[in-house]
Amino acid sequence: MKKTIFTLAMLCCTIMGNAQVTDEQSAILQVGDNAQIFYGADALKEAMEAAPDRGATITLSSGTFNACEITKCVNIYGAGWVTENPPLNNESSIQNSILPTNIVNQMVINLPEGLAAPHNIHIEGVRFPDNSYHWIKVSSTIDGLEFMKCWMPQAIRFEQQNDHVTITQCFIAGGCTGGHDLLIQNSYTRLSQLTVLKAESNIVVNHCIVTNGYNFNYTENRFLCLNSMFSCSWLCKAQTFRYCTLNRADLDGYVGSTNNIFNVDYATIFKDQANMDYSDARTFELKDDLKATYIGDDGTEIGINGGNYPWNKAPHTPIVKDLQLTISGTNLKVTYNAETR
Contacts of 169 (CB under 8 A, 6+ apart): 148, 149, 185, 186, 187, 309, 311, 312, 313
Coil, strand, or helix at residue 234?
coil
CA distances (Å), origin 118, targets 58, 95, 111, 142? 19, 41, 12, 8
Binned at pLDDT 50, 70 and 90, residue 33 comes out as: confident
Contact (CB, 8 A) for 272 and 285: yes
CA distances (Å), origin 111, targets 8, 45, 54, 276, 296? 33, 15, 11, 38, 38
Of residues 58 and 173, the one with the higher pLDDT is: 58
What is the rounded distance in angstroms from the CA atom of residue 50 to the CA atom of residue 223? 39
Q: What is the mean pLDDT of the chain?
A: 84
Nearest to 187 by CA among 129, 242, 147: 147
Nearest to 1 by CA among 334, 336, 330: 330
Q: Report pLDDT for 331.
A: 58
% of residues, the chain, pLDDT over 90: 61
Binned at pLDDT 50, 70 and 90, residue 141 comes out as: very high
What is the rounded distance in angstroms from the CA atom of residue 270 to the CA atom of residue 274? 7
CA 47 to chain centre: 21
What is the rounded distance in angstroms from the CA atom of residue 22 to the CA atom of residue 199? 49
Give residue-wise pLDDT tens across range 170-197. Answer: 998 878 889 999 999 999 988 767 778 8
Average pLDDT over residues 192-213: 85
Beta bridge partners of 31: 34
